[in-house]
Every structure is written in structure tokens, then in C-alpha cells.
Amino acid sequence: MKIVRTGDKFIFLAGAREKSLLLGLLKLYPRIPAAHRLKRAQQLPDSSQKLLDEALAEQRTENKKQIEAFLAEPARFEQTAAGWRFSLSRAELEWLLQILNDIRVGSWINLGSPDEKRGMRLLNKETAPDFWAMEMAGALQMQMLEALKG
């Protein structure tokens, strides 16, 4: 996938396979388990944790609706001779980075939070989808961050 920055717009150029992979990846959201808590968050009083959980649930619901609207928008993807073209505003790109981060981190959590050495030993047909999602989300994030920096 190629990302071209034109002012405040980001134009994505993708082949058919890349488009399919992106759409498949986005359908995995949300990936971070709802019950997952950071170590610091485990020290919150129950009332604060409940408020945090409710806010996160609302945000996930809203993000899921936005993803569905993104995927359903007929004019979102334009077929060209070179493949598929779509554009995002800076705000949409930053939102997509957050979605991809949830997918990447959630997949890593589903794998048991492996480090680099331990991770490859866990790769098998059951864990491969989580490894794929983690790696693809990370690769797309890197491309998008480069475009933002560009």
C-alpha cells in the first residue's frame, strides 16, 4: 500500500489484495478484551474503574459504528487502473491509527503478551491469525505514521 500526502489529505493506493487485507483487519475491531486492565488501572477504586469501563465501552461502540460506516460508504474506495484509491483527512487517519493500535495490542494480548524470543515459538495454526493481525496492523501503523511525519 502506498500513502501519498497532499496537504491535509492522505491518499491511499492499494492493490486488490491489500484492500481486502485492510478490510479484513478492520473487521477484527475491537480486539483488546473488555476486561483487560493495565496494572495501574487495577489500583483504581471500583467506582472509578466502573466509570472507565463504561467510557471505554461507549468509545468501542462508537468506533465500531464508524468502522461500519467507513466500510459501507460506496464512494470510499475508487477503482483505478492501478488498483484502489481512497483518501482520509488527518483526523480520519489519526482515528484509523487508534483502531489499528487496538487490533495490534489486542492481538498481542490474545497471544499472551509474548516477547520477541518467546513469540516465534508460539506460532502455530491456532495463533497464526493473531500474529497476522498484530503484524499487519503494526505495518500499516508504521506507513501511516511515516505519512504523517512526511
> Which SS3 state, helix, strand or coil, does residue 150 take?
coil
Q: Are strands 2-6 and 83-89 parallel, antiparallel or unpaired?
A: unpaired
pLDDT at 7 (0 to 100): 86
Model confidence, pTM:
0.89
Identify the domain containing residue 136 by its residue range: 2-149
Percent of the chain scored above 70 by pLDDT? Answer: 91
Count of domains observed in the chain = 1
The residue among 94, 129, 86 whose CA lies nearest residue 111 is 129
Q: Give, as one character, the DSSP assignment of residue 115.
A: -
Q: What is the pLDDT of residue 118?
A: 65
The C-alpha cell that represents 79 in the structure block: 477503482
Give residue-wise pLDDT tens across range 20-57: 999 999 999 999 987 765 555 556 677 887 888 899 99
Confidence of residue 128 (pLDDT cuts 50, 70, 90): very high
